[in-house]
Amino acid sequence: MATERTFSIIKPDATARNLTGAVNSMIEQSGLRIVAQRRVRITREQAETFYSVHRERPFFGELVQFMTSGPVVVQVLQGDGAITKYREIMGATDPAKAANGTIRKTFARSMGENSVHGSDSAENAAAEIAQFFSGNDIVG
């Protein structure tokens, strides 16, 4: 499988509970490598751009409000099949439906406060990484 990069966010519900290290441990246990990482408070504009695909959805306002409610940790993860692998270890969007041992099953509070984001395609991974990191920030 080809080495890929994917974009991850440790969301405000997880940083609020001091779970950055616990999430990172699950990422590293899976074999993925954290090749860039920064703790930030994202702006409303950044959140709206990031989730613009969901602009028409009823939960959009709530989603933007949540993502700007506290610090997040933005990351680039690298490894074989990183995009699919990270989606697997995150688990389903709704933690009630997520498999045992996944990050969301272990830590998420709800469908909205679900602890992590991971890119869903190579195209989106590239765009999302570029929104938060420049080349020199990423050290593989």
> In the complex, which residues of this chain contact ligand ATP (CB under 6 A)?
54, 59, 63, 93, 111-112, 114, 117-118, 120
Smallest separation (angstroms) from ligand ATP to the CB of 43:
17
Tokens 């899976």, residue located: 30
Burial class (CB in 10 A: 0-12, 13-18, 19+), 86: buried
Smallest separation (angstroms) from ligand ATP to the CB of 5:
15
Smallest separation (angstroms) from ligand ATP to the CB of 55:
12
117 part of the active site: yes
Q: Which is nearer to ligand ATP, 68 or 139 (CB)?
A: 68
Smallest separation (angstroms) from ligand ATP to the CB of 136:
26
Instruction: Check if the beta carbon of residue 3 is closer than 8 Å to that of residue 80.
Output: yes
* Residue in 117, 118, 119, 133 annotated catalytic: 117
Q: Which is nearer to ligand ATP, 53 or 140 (CB)?
A: 53
Provide the token pair at 13: 């519900």
Q: Which is nearer to ligand ATP, 113 or 136 (CB)?
A: 113
Q: Which is nearer to ligand ATP, 96 or 139 (CB)?
A: 96
User: Which residue numbers are catalytic?
Assistant: 117
